[in-house]
Amino acid sequence: MADYKAPLRDMRFVLNEVFEVSKLWAELPALAEVVDEDTANAILEEAGKVTAGSIAPLNRSGDEEGCSWEDGVVKTPAGFPEAYRTYAEGGWVGVGGAPDFGGMGMPKVIGAQVEEMVNSASLSFGLYPMLTAGACLSILNHASEELKAQYLPNMYAGVWAGSMCLTEPHAGTDLGIIRTKAEPQADGSYKISGTKIFITGGEHDLTENIIHLVLAKLPDAPAGPKGISLFLVPKIMVGADGSLGEKNALGCGSIEHKMGIKASATCVMNFDGATGYLIGEVNKGLAAMFTMMNYERLGVGIQGLSLGERSYQSAIEYARERIQSRAPTGPVAKDKAADPIIVHPDVRRMLLTMKALNEGGRAFSSYVAMQLDTAKYSEDKATAQRADELVALLTPVAKAFLTDMALETTVHGQQIFGGHGFIREWGQEQLVRDCRITQIYEGTNGIQSLDLMGRKIVGSGGSYYKHFADEIRAFVASADASMAEFTQPLAAAVDNLDALTAWVLEQAKGNPNEIGAASVEYLQAFGYTAYAYMWALMARAALGKEGEDEFYASKLGTARFYFARLLPRIHSLSASVKAGSESLYLLDAAQF
């Protein structure tokens, strides 16, 4: 496998030339004080060094060794504790954390690039700081000032880690039926009892303490999701002065043996009357949890992108070096027995598909991250609300579409290697295995599609969607004639998505099954259209610069490939949506 190199040139292009993020930061006083283009470039440069140098070399050995469990103790693979210490000492765990508690305070659009780099280096490794950052976000936004001061500094510093304890053996997507209990105590704390499964980083040897955020129900809680509260439950009790005390009444019952991400400890956690502290209000736990969900679901989409990037870097190196057969038009490498496989049309199709989806995904994830920053930091109420509604609309697309495209991309990368792609030593099969979970956790992609179609499209009466469609139309209207090859198919794609949206909204009035029946293909059509917008934006930034740098010529060639070969997929997807739900219900359950 090729050594990982952070795609800093493309990241800088997206941030500085396509979106001109420094202009956004200048308009947001809270960000203008902490970041500018030079600061951002320096942060990304350093993140590229640490992820490539300290973490990427552990990816395959971590997969081979995996995590081990014995008597409740989890050991991560060799090298992981040392690499985590290096990563934490660089301040990377708290890159987006609040400066008041020791975080760097960087905007999400910078954090998104750092996330991509660490997850490309090793997804298993990247999950530990990701879960910590997510836990910190909920604590920061909902916990008392006392809890923030007591826990956030050490979590941002990477001295303590975090986990999110939601899922139970009988309750995955439907959290309303969880059974974990919280018993109020006289001192204001709670005793937490219950079992949680699939808990990433629930136990490990990377940090001296782990701070669990646990969903549970009080004895008198109302039924369903309205009766869920959120609690902070430390692995080791923390004194008022921040010192560590006795171990809390909780433990790791086992770890899962998984298809991929084997160096990430996926734990069964047992809480046996563990001491916990309420975060936010009683029975408002889901609201506190969903504060971090938009960030985490975008983060999972970025995980998919990161694996696609790592696969592409290996595939392009292999395609340039591996010789097999001659080019259809005659010998290219006349001094060799055969030509490099990059001359063959099908290999080029796969490589360009990978490149187009990766670079489109990087632009789209950065765009969504910018909306998160605007929603959080804008002092103009209307601007912040619009950004917040765009985040709500685009988060399920970012999570599901990026990860669906990532599986296609990693499979292409494996395929380019032929038989060697099936062999462990080349590393491509690991990326396929690791990628698969991104379509499943943090809400399966089917659930994301339902969320987009049911809550964000039908639930808003199409108003959230209108923000995005109107923005694209304004871009098309502002473009000059030199952009016609990109703006004309983009405008047609938006017209198609308009019609599809209107069709589903109308059909849903008479048959609620139409929402679920349309959801997956609708999200896919939405994703391809969103990427078309990203590629048009990137083409605009690259046009006229082809002679300056091969980078721009490559960008424009990839844009043309996207519009010619990938965007047309929307037509078959649209036909599937408009086929309706009837064919899904022709069989009785017994006939399956």
Residue type, 407: L
282-295 exposure pattern, b = at least 16 Cβ within 10 A, e = fewer: ebbbbbbbebbbbb
Asked if 112 and 298 touch (Cβ cutoff 8 Å), the reply is yes
**Cα–Cα nearest to 66, from 304, 325, 261:** 261
CA-to-CA separations, 178 to 181, 183, 197, 225, 294, in angstroms, rounded: 9, 15, 12, 9, 22
- Find where tokens 């030509």 sit: 339
Burial category of 42 from C-beta neighbours within 10 Å (exposed 0-12, middle 13-18, buried 19 and up): exposed
Radius of gyration of the chain (CA): 24
Residues classed as catalytic? 442
One-character DSSP codes across 363-382: HHHHHHHHHHHHHHH-S-HH
- Residues with Cβ within 8 Å of residue 554, at least 6 apart in sequence: none
Residue 340 DSSP one-character state:
B
CA distance 64 to 58: 10
Q: What's the residue count for the chain?
A: 592
Query: Sign of the C-alpha dihedral, residues 93, 98, 99, 104?
Result: positive
CA distance 166 to 216: 9
Q: H-type helices in 511-547, by residue range?
A: 513-542
**Cα–Cα nearest to 181, from 276, 45, 309:** 276
Beta bridge partners of 236: 247
CA distance 156 to 98: 9
Q: Please, which contacts does 13-20 make with residues 24 or more away whose CB atoms are closer than 8 Å?
A: 13/538, 13/541, 13/551, 13/555, 14/362, 14/363, 14/366, 14/538, 15/40, 15/109, 15/113, 15/366, 17/541, 18/363, 18/537, 18/538, 18/541, 19/109, 19/366, 19/367, 19/370, 19/537
Asked if 271 and 214 touch (Cβ cutoff 8 Å), the reply is yes
**Cα–Cα nearest to 483, from 566, 559, 540:** 540
